[in-house]
Copies of this chain bind each other. A is one copy, B any other.
Amino acid sequence: MKNIAYDQVRITGGFWKTKQEMLLNTSRSVYDRFAETYRFEAENVKGWLDRLLAEGSAASTDRPRVPHIFWDSDVAKWIEGTAYLIKIAQAWDLTPDQQDELLALEQICDDTIDTICENADENGYFNSHFQITEALGEARRFTDRSQHELYCAGHLIEAALAYQKATGKDKLLRQMIRYADYIDRVFHIENSAVFETPGHPELELALVKLAHFTEEEKYLDLAKWFIDHHGDSSKDIPPYDVFNNRYNQDEMPLRKRTTADGHSVRAMYLLSGMIDVAARYQDASLMDACRRLYDNVVNHRMYITGGIGSTHIGEAFTIDYHLPSRTAYSETCAAIALAQVCGRMIGASTANTGEDGPAVSVPLLSSYADTLERTMYNGILSGISLDGTGFFYENPLTIDLRFNDPNVSTKDKEYYPETTRRKVFSCSCCPPNVLRFYASLGDYLYSVDEDTLYVHQYMESEASLPSLKVCQKTDYPASGRINLTIRREDPAIRRIALRLPSWCEHFKLYLPYEQKNGYLYVDLSDETTIELDLGMPIRFVSADPRVHDALGKVAVSRGPVIYALEGKDQPDIDIHRFLIDPSAGASPGPVLSGFLLPSIEAEGVLPLPYEDSAAGDLFPGGDRDTELYRSFDPSAFRKVRVRLIPYYAFANRGSSDLTVWIRVK
């Protein structure tokens, strides 16, 4: 199966067109914040060193003395995302101002690429942190796996490939090929670096992309070499140490892993590389490990939003079914990484899953696209504000503002996630990652294999291949009605497979179909028109009861979108005290400004604080009405109606209480 790439797919309207257009704000805002925090300046290594020399001891106190180890990756992801944006915007009706803006962004990319290329070593090495620390006689290159050195290289390779594909300009790509050759020599051929595999995976998947583009087998071999050697250098680090082998994805050889552990972004970036390598080498044991890890994440360690990472400590997975809502880490980048895993799993699948060995249970094919849809509408989208310029690094499922009280939380005390969106973070991986993910969203809609066109995601769009053209008309997910027109150029493409989302309860399709692997297979003629209606049911969803944090609670969803109670919409109600009544149903409410999808109205009860309640007055006249504990009285409540909003829109009206999981009355 081959995924149709974003540059052959146009998102032509609806929800995601609006979101993609918003990315113009995102690219500019992220650039501005990165520029004012010296990230772009740092790419001029020589200039930075000259300035240090000139300033001497009068150095600025505001600017860090040497660039942060992450900064090159921040710039790289911004270039990559902006490249996708430049490409997709070519098909848009742009205003003159927007056209100027795109040209300006492209100019920034060109200038930055010039700077990087001027400052790279002759052998291709480029890393602003290490080049500067080396010149200052401090840290040396390739001596410390934890310094994100190969991670930055991987992101620069991805940026170079994206920019070449979007603009045809290959200056950065040629530079990064030299760098990749240098890494190959040092790590693989000479094996002379102090460490063996990246502490933060990313380079592996970038090398596979590079191999694909250059058709150079050696980059694939290098990626495989890294994959094969993760786990070799395990050190005796106590399990209680945050930065242990699990954190570094180095606990054991990857083929032996059965659970997704440690730093969740690292785990998923590495899994992406593993899938790529397993698929290219037809490596069954590695693919088995990939399926096991995917299954472990999606069926045991994933929030209902598609977020992953249950603790901020080590930004890590914890154990099966441990999915705390309030202290959820659920980093935006981790959900993006999971989406990338899903896309790769689709690309690595055959229609007839389950045939390549009984060792591992093979997920239903549609699971990958289901999970991708889950992340896309929830755990990733919550990471960016409605205007495209405010971000969350963590995406909690519950916010109780009372717990921000310094007597309870933060700093030296208990940890709770931030409740206010920010324009930039000191570790600012998420903002450009959201940019590049949504700008290349077209990557995840369609696949083809030898005889079938797969429709994984529903959105107003067109795809164009030599063998076929597909036009999808829909207002999904406002409704579940989808109209598909497929014009076939190659009669080998004999059918279309339409994903039946896991949330779909009833669908309408008035053509003959076969249901298999979570898809509806319909035969194609040279021109076929298909009307599919998936409905858009509002559902009360519960978690496996082993998820103790969600026990006795439901979440409300509408189609793929998870909803949440936010304090803003019910200022008189303590939302954490509200008990929902699923038997009373729920109905769509108004579309709030900028929210794009309807709110949901539901009913339930609010248990009364004991001082308001008449119950338990054993001693009339006595001052017992503030007692904390009383005989259970299920009737001591008042009925209330509440409004839920799409989870992705939380904290767009300032900090507010929030909850996804709602106790059932």
Copies in the complex: 2
Beta-carbon contact of B407 and A316 below 8 Å: yes
Q: Judge if A218 is at the interface, Cβ distance under 8 Å.
A: no
Beta-carbon contact of B318 and A630 below 8 Å: no
Beta-carbon contact of A543 and B410 below 8 Å: no
With A240-B410, A319-B402, A542-B631 already in contact, 4 other A-B pairs whose C-beta atoms are closer than 8 Å: A319-B405, A319-B407, A545-B608, A548-B577
Interface size on A, residues (CB 8 A): 86
When A403-B322, A407-B318, A631-B540 are in contact, do A626 and B412 touch as well, CB less than 8 Å? Answer: no
In Å, the complex CA distance between A362 and B622 comes to 9
When A319-B405, A407-B318 are in contact, do A626 and B552 touch as well, CB less than 8 Å? Answer: no
A545 neighbours in B (Cβ, 8 Å): 577, 606-610
Beta-carbon contact of B551 and A414 below 8 Å: no
In Å, the complex CA distance between A364 and B314 comes to 50
When A400-B548, A539-B631 are in contact, do A319 and B408 touch as well, CB less than 8 Å? Answer: yes
Q: Which residue of B lies closest to A580 (CB)?
A: B632
Q: Judge if A213 is at the interface, Cβ distance under 8 Å.
A: no
In Å, the complex CA distance between A548 and B17 comes to 41
CB distance from A242 to the nearest CB of B (A): 5
Give 30 CB contacts A-B under 8 Å: A240-B406, A240-B412, A246-B407, A295-B626, A299-B626, A310-B408, A314-B413, A319-B408, A322-B408, A363-B623, A364-B622, A364-B623, A500-B619, A502-B624, A502-B627, A505-B618, A540-B631, A540-B632, A541-B630, A542-B630, A543-B629, A544-B627, A544-B629, A545-B577, A545-B608, A545-B609, A548-B576, A551-B577, A551-B607, A554-B632
In Å, the complex CA distance between A241 and B411 comes to 8
CB distance from A536 to the nearest CB of B (A): 15
Beta-carbon contact of A407 and B518 below 8 Å: no
Q: Judge if A143 is at the interface, Cβ distance under 8 Å.
A: no
Contact indicator per residue, chain A 537-562, by CB within 8 Å of chain B (1) or not (0): 00111111111100110110000000
Q: Judge if A207 is at the interface, Cβ distance under 8 Å.
A: no
A246 neighbours in B (Cβ, 8 Å): 407
Contact indicator per residue, chain A 612-643, by CB within 8 Å of chain B (1) or not (0): 00000011001110111111111000000000
Interface centre among A310, A363, A548 (most CB of B within 10 A): A548
A358 neighbours in B (Cβ, 8 Å): none
Beta-carbon contact of B413 and A240 below 8 Å: yes
In Å, the complex CA distance between A410 and B471 comes to 55
Q: Judge if A579 is at the interface, Cβ distance under 8 Å.
A: yes
Q: Judge if A298 is at the interface, Cβ distance under 8 Å.
A: yes
A623 neighbours in B (Cβ, 8 Å): 361-364
A362 neighbours in B (Cβ, 8 Å): 623
A300 neighbours in B (Cβ, 8 Å): 626, 628
Beta-carbon contact of B407 and A261 below 8 Å: yes
Q: Which residue of B lies closest to A323 (CB)?
A: B628
In Å, the complex CA distance between A383 and B208 comes to 59
Q: Judge if A528 is at the interface, Cβ distance under 8 Å.
A: no
When A629-B304, A631-B539 are in contact, do A544 and B363 touch as well, CB less than 8 Å? Answer: no
Q: Judge if A478 is at the interface, Cβ distance under 8 Å.
A: no
Q: Which residue of B lies closest to A403 (CB)?
A: B322
Q: Which residue of B lies closest to A582 (CB)?
A: B632
Q: Which residue of B lies closest to A313 (CB)?
A: B413
Beta-carbon contact of B408 and A318 below 8 Å: yes
Q: Which residue of B lies closest to A246 (CB)?
A: B407
Beta-carbon contact of B632 and A413 below 8 Å: no
In Å, the complex CA distance between A406 and B408 comes to 24
Beta-carbon contact of B632 and A405 below 8 Å: no
Q: Judge if A515 is at the interface, Cβ distance under 8 Å.
A: yes
Beta-carbon contact of A627 and B299 below 8 Å: yes
When A577-B548, A619-B518 are in contact, do A628 and B322 touch as well, CB less than 8 Å? Answer: no
A606 neighbours in B (Cβ, 8 Å): 545
Contact indicator per residue, chain A 261-295, by CB within 8 Å of chain B (1) or not (0): 10000000000000000000000000000000001
In Å, the complex CA distance between A221 and B624 comes to 36
When A319-B407, A407-B316 are in contact, do A302 and B547 touch as well, CB less than 8 Å? Answer: no
In Å, the complex CA distance between A619 and B547 comes to 23
Beta-carbon contact of A304 and B628 below 8 Å: yes
Of B322, B505, B541, B610, the contact of A632 (CB 8 Å cutoff): B541
A314 neighbours in B (Cβ, 8 Å): 413
When A541-B630, A544-B609 are in contact, do A408 and B579 touch as well, CB less than 8 Å? Answer: no
A311 neighbours in B (Cβ, 8 Å): 408, 413-414
Q: Judge if A481 is at the interface, Cβ distance under 8 Å.
A: no
Q: Which residue of B lies closest to A312 (CB)?
A: B414
In Å, the complex CA distance between A402 and B320 comes to 10
Q: Which residue of B lies closest to A537 (CB)?
A: B631
Q: Judge if A664 is at the interface, Cβ distance under 8 Å.
A: yes
A531 neighbours in B (Cβ, 8 Å): none
A518 neighbours in B (Cβ, 8 Å): 619, 622
Q: Judge if A483 is at the interface, Cβ distance under 8 Å.
A: no
Q: Judge if A457 is at the interface, Cβ distance under 8 Å.
A: no
Contact indicator per residue, chain A 51-84, by CB within 8 Å of chain B (1) or not (0): 0000000000000000000000000000000000
A400 neighbours in B (Cβ, 8 Å): 548
Beta-carbon contact of A618 and B552 below 8 Å: no
Q: Judge if A663 is at the interface, Cβ distance under 8 Å.
A: yes
Q: Judge if A655 is at the interface, Cβ distance under 8 Å.
A: no
Interface centre among A364, A624, A628 (most CB of B within 10 A): A628
In Å, the complex CA distance between A505 and B631 comes to 10
Interface centre among A554, A607, A609 (most CB of B within 10 A): A607
Beta-carbon contact of A412 and B546 below 8 Å: no
Of B242, B619, B622, the contact of A412 (CB 8 Å cutoff): B242
Contact indicator per residue, chain A 395-421, by CB within 8 Å of chain B (1) or not (0): 000001011011110111110000000
